[in-house]
Amino acid sequence: MSVAVDDDLWSAIGDPTRRRMLDLLLTDGAGTATTLSDSLPVTRQAVAKHLAVLDRVGLVHVSPAGRERRYRVDEAQLARAVAQLADVGAAWDARLQRIKRIAEAIERSQKK
């Protein structure tokens, strides 16, 4: 039985650049495409596209301020994404544990 995963949300946090962007937005509180690109190895336009993706899945929200577009993390949505990470991890972990138990059982029965 597999875990229910929102593929859009998952793939949004699947990109390394987007993960770093979320990190930066969390530490700085907010940021624009330009300020983020200063701390990233990609151009402003690439950052803008990533911000559009994050906005589409609700991980960030934008508030226009003059000529700037200031982005901020949606904490509830990020919490949901983190929960999905935990779910998938827990599901695989449980399977690995089960396999380990079975392997140990076989080991024991062979030794006998």
Q: Which residues bind a copy of itself (CB under 8 A)?
A: 2, 5, 7, 10-11, 14-16, 19-20, 22-23, 26-27, 75, 78-79, 81-82, 85-86, 88-89, 92-93, 95-96, 99-100
Site string for DNA, 83-112 (x = CB under 7 A): ------------------------------
Q: Would you call 60 exposed, middle or buried from its count of C-beta atoms within 10 A (0-12, 13-18, 19+)? A: buried
Of 6, 19, 28, 45, the one binding DNA (CB under 7 A) is 45
Distances (CA, A) of 17 to 40, 66, 97, 103: 8, 27, 32, 39
In residues, how long is the chain? 112
Q: What are phi and psi of 64, to 5 degrees?
A: -65, 130
The residue to which tokens 């906005």 are assigned: 55
Segment near DNA (CB under 7 A); pick from 10-18, 22-30, 81-89, 98-106: 10-18
**At its nearest, how many Å lie between DNA and the CB of residue 20?**
9
The residue among 66 and 112 lying less far from DNA, judged by its C-beta, is 66
Distances (CA, A) of 2 to 8, 31, 77, 89, 94: 17, 37, 22, 11, 12
Q: Which residues bind DNA (CB under 7 A)?
A: 11, 15, 17, 32-34, 41-46, 48-50, 53, 66-70
